[in-house]
Structure 1
Amino acid sequence: MKAGEGAARLAGESVRYLLAGGLNTLASYALYLALLQAMDYRTAYVLAFVAGIALSFALLRHAVFARPGRPFSLLWVAASHLLQLGLGLAVVQAWVAALHGPQWAAPLAAALAVAPFMFVLQRWIFTPHVRH
């Protein structure tokens, strides 16, 4: 692949990642708001986050990177989301408890803070290993 092709692919993946992430975030956020009516914000965040993992895998696999990725890519994606959950929950906790931000905005702050790292990690998951 030529350098220009690689840059174009990266740019396209970045745009698709943002769109897919936006869709997944909106769906998860809507669920979070519904759950917030019945439970603590931390529990609501975890449940909404877990519900978004399957949607995320489908979007990453078929729409964002459009390739199967590494062996066990579903497990890699689930593991990356567990990492994202931990990082995101730390941001949610800091947002509410330390910064006194509104609970309704906590998942949005977490998504914005963690998204760049997750793009790099998930791109690695869906970039096939090249043997030399």
Structure 2
Amino acid sequence: MMRILQTVSVKQVLTEMSKYKLQKRFKDNKQQLKKECDQLLFELKKLERTRKFTPSGLKTQFDKEIEMRKEKIKLIDFQIEQLDMLSIGSELHDQDIQAIIDIKVGDNWDEVAKGKTIVIKDGIIVEIRER
């Protein structure tokens, strides 16, 4: 017998509760990114007043950081749109995890290699299926 690592897909069944939690998480992340943008703008203006740094290089770096956060906000807006379109009962890919699988001589490799999927509904495992 031998043990191997295998990637297992975890899917979440969308329920009213899980949809609400996802929406809240997206909105909280978006709010945090907006706060970071405001803080970066504030810090930039503060540093520009001290004139201890070269303004152009400093502004470029701050603009890059702000733009990076704005792109993340756009992605979150897209995810919120996608979530709103999904119906209750839809399965969402949540994550991939590693599992230890026991294999032995005589096992069907095609079956082992297919892997497994864990289905979760409101935090409870409701199904483990072969892919």
Q: Which has the higher helix share?
A: 1
TM-score by length of 2: 0.37
* Larger RCO, structures 1/2 (Cα 8 Å, 6+ apart): 2
Larger Rg: 2
The TM-score normalised by the length of structure 1 is: 0.37
Greater share of strand:
2
